[in-house]
Structure 1
Amino acid sequence: MPVPVHALVHRPLTAEAVAELVALPYVPPVDEDDDAAVEAERRRRGWQWEDLVCESFRTGHGHVLCSEAFSPFGELQARAFLVFGELYPVDPDDERMLNGIWLNGYMKGWEQLPGWRGVRPATDQDCEAVLAQAAGAVTEALGAAPERTLLSAHTTSHGPALTHRVWRTPTHALILGTAADEGPYGHLTHLQLSSTPLTCAPDLPPATAGDQALADWITAHTEW
C-alpha cells in the first residue's frame, strides 16, 4: 500500500550531471582561500550560489551541490552530495503534521528553482520513480549497474523506507538515496547522490553480512 507524502519536488538527474560530480575531485585544484579563483571557476561552469543547503552551488545542470570544502574543485578528500529532489514526509506520530502546511514555504523554495517540478500530494512510489530514473543516469554515466541496493529509512528521521543504491569508483563511493535535510527542523529529506572517499569507512561489507552492515557503511559515507 502506498505511503503518503505531503510533497515531492525534483529535477531529473542526468548522466551529464553525474559525470560532472564524479569528475570534480580530479579537476585542477582551486584554492578555497582564493575567493576570486573560486568565483572565476563558478562563473566558468555556469554555476550559481545557492542557500537552500547551507553554502552551496546550483550547478549548470540545475541541481544543488554541497561540499564540505568551500571549493569542491580538485579536492580528493572532500565529501560532497548533489540534491536532485526534496521530500516533505508525513510524520504519522505527530497529529499536528497531518495538514502538511507548516513547511510548504521551504518546499516552494525548491520548486521555484528552474526546471524543478512539484507533486502534491505524493507517495513513496513517486519517490521511488524519481530514484529509479536517477539510478539510470548514474548507470549510464559509470557504465555499470549498482553493486548493492538497500530498502531503508535509516538515513532520515521521518518518512518512508526508500531504495539506496551503491556504486564505487577506484577512489570514491557513490550512494544514491535519501538523507536528512538538516535545515528546517531536520524534517525534510533530500533525494541525493553523494560522492565520498572510500577511506570514510572500511571496505564495502559482503552481501552475507546483512542489511545492518550495509546501512552502517552507507551512514559512514553520507553523514558529515
Structure 2
Amino acid sequence: MSNLDGKVVVVAGAAGAAGPPLVSRLLEHGATVIALDRDESKVQALTEGAGAQAAGIGVDLLDEQATRELAQRLLAEHGHVDGLMHLVGGWRGGAGIVESDLADWEWLHDLLIRTLQHTSRAFHDALRDSGGRLAIVSTTQAQQPTAKNASYAAAKAAAEAWTLACAHSFRDTDAAAVIVQIKALLTDAMREAKPQAKFAGYTHVEELAERLVGLWDIPAAELNGTRLCLTP
C-alpha cells in the first residue's frame, strides 16, 4: 500500500460524499491533507482532530484569483504540493436535446469544468515539479451520452478533455493526470435507505478512495493520460 509520508495532497470538493473517506484514507497513509470546499465549516469538521496533518479551508473555486492565492499560500507553507484530487461534482438530468433547460448546462459547466480549470492551473507547476498526481472523477456517460443526459455528459467529457490536456503537459515528467470513471457513487447511507436495491455498477466511496490513494503506486509513465474505469 502507498506510503504518502511527506506528501501534501489537496482535495477539492472534500465536503461531498467522496471526500470524507478519501481524506481519512490519505491521512492513514501519512499524507498531509488540505481539504477544500466552499463551506468552510464542513471541511473544518472533516479535518478536526488531525492536528497539523490536515487543514480544512473554505474557498470559492469559481474565483480563479482566490484559488491562485490559496495555491501560492500552500506552497509557501509546505514547500510543495504532491496531489490534487478534484472531487467537485454535481448532477442534473435533462428532458432531451430540445426540451432540456440550458441553465442546467451553465450550472454544470461552472461546477464540473470551471473549478477544474481553476484548480489545475493554480497547482499545475507545483504538481509538475513534485511528480504529483492530478485526478478527476468522471463517468462512463462521457463516452456514452444519451439525449436526456446531454448536458451532464458533455460537461464531464469537457472535464476529461481538460484533464487529458494536463496529461499532455505533464509528459516527460514524473507527474500524472488521470481520469477515474464510475457509473455512480454508493454510500452506506444509500444502502441503509434502500436495503433491497442492488445498485448495479455503482462504486462505493471507500473503493474510490482506495483507488485514488493507490495512484502514487503506479509509475507516471503508465498512469499519465489514462482512464481507470471502476465500473464492472
Greater RCO (Cα-Cα under 8 Å, separation 6 or more): 1
TM > 0.5 between the two?
no
Query: Would you tell me which structure has more helix in proportion to its own residues?
Result: 2
What is the TM-score when the length of structure 1 is the normalising length? 0.32
What is the TM-score when the length of structure 2 is the normalising length? 0.31
Query: Would you tell me which structure has more strand in proportion to its own residues?
Result: 1
